[in-house]
Amino acid sequence: DAGEAFAMMAASFVALVESTGAFIAVSRYASATPCPPSVMSRGIGWQGVGILLGGLFGTANGSSVSVENAGLLGLTRVGSRRVVQISAGFMIFFSILGKFGAVFASIPGPIIAAIYCLLFAYVGMAGVGFLQFCNLNSFRTKFIVGFSVFMGLSVPQYFNEYTSVAGYGPVHTHARWFNDMINVVFSSKAFVGGAVAYLLDNTLQRHDSTARKDRGHHFWDRFRSFRTDPRSEEFYSLPFNLNKFFPSF
């Protein structure tokens, strides 16, 4: 069905946007250099491969970045790649034994909620922390941040409540594929807030002489050339000589 295919494409695009934010948060908490575009593309590309494999094997959900693990990195202050590899090995091993899955499934909901309160606090502040490079005394910056947060919370809430009451989304035309694409995209808080902020930041008083500094470009300009920082290779290089196929910058 083409409609379901377009809906999954829209969901994958939303997951791409959310995963990009998680990549940036992880690099921040791991005290690494800002992610080069090639590393960001590499992560998104392998996420697409995971979604493809999930579809081939008929899984009920697609692959996405674990935002909770980004918060866990900020909580534990452990950013070693080897720790993640060992943890992944444990997860694969325990998934074979159903009893271990039953133990984790029996964890009470309030305990899971308490853990999420800790993890998402770090995830949220990872994004808010980048505002320190902007001029928060500027009314332009205040409007963009405030309006983006408001729209990012209110629009998805409206779409979700409308769907739960009516049984279909606010966009309800004769083209089902179009309905699914729009309703899925605007149900994501991260996508709506990020899209609004990106649009306003690149259109509102962009050519003003002080807007460039208000946007924080004076800080990010030093990272335009990732080859000049040898730490980028240290942080983002792959083992087994895979950098020939997936360069770090």
What pLDDT is attached to residue 228?
66
- SS3 assignment for the chain: CHHHHHHHHHHHHHHHHHHHHHHHHHHHHCCCCCCCHHHHHHHHHHHHHHHHHHHHCCCCCCCCCCHHHHHHHHHHCCCCHHHHHHHHHHHHHHHHCHHHHHHHHCCCHHHHHHHHHHHHHHHHHHHHHHHHHCCCCCHHHHHHHHHHHHHHHHHHHHHHHHHHHHCCCCCCCCCHHHHHHHHHHCCCHHHHHHHHHHHHHCCCCCCCCCHHHHCCHHHHHHHCCHHHCCHHHHHHCCCCCHHHCCCCC
Segment-wise mean pLDDT, segments of 10 residues, the chain, 249 residues: 76 83 85 82 86 81 80 83 84 81 83 86 84 87 93 94 90 85 88 91 79 78 68 77 73
- Summarised one tens digit per residue, pLDDT across range 178-235 is 888 888 889 988 889 989 999 998 888 777 777 878 888 777 777 666 666 677 777 8
Predicted local confidence at residue 153, as pLDDT: 93
CB neighbour class for 67 (10 Å; exposed up to 12, middle 13-18, buried from 19): buried
- With a CB cutoff of 8 Å and minimum separation 6, the contacts of 229 are 33, 223
Confidence at residue 249, expressed as pLDDT on a 0 to 100 scale? 67
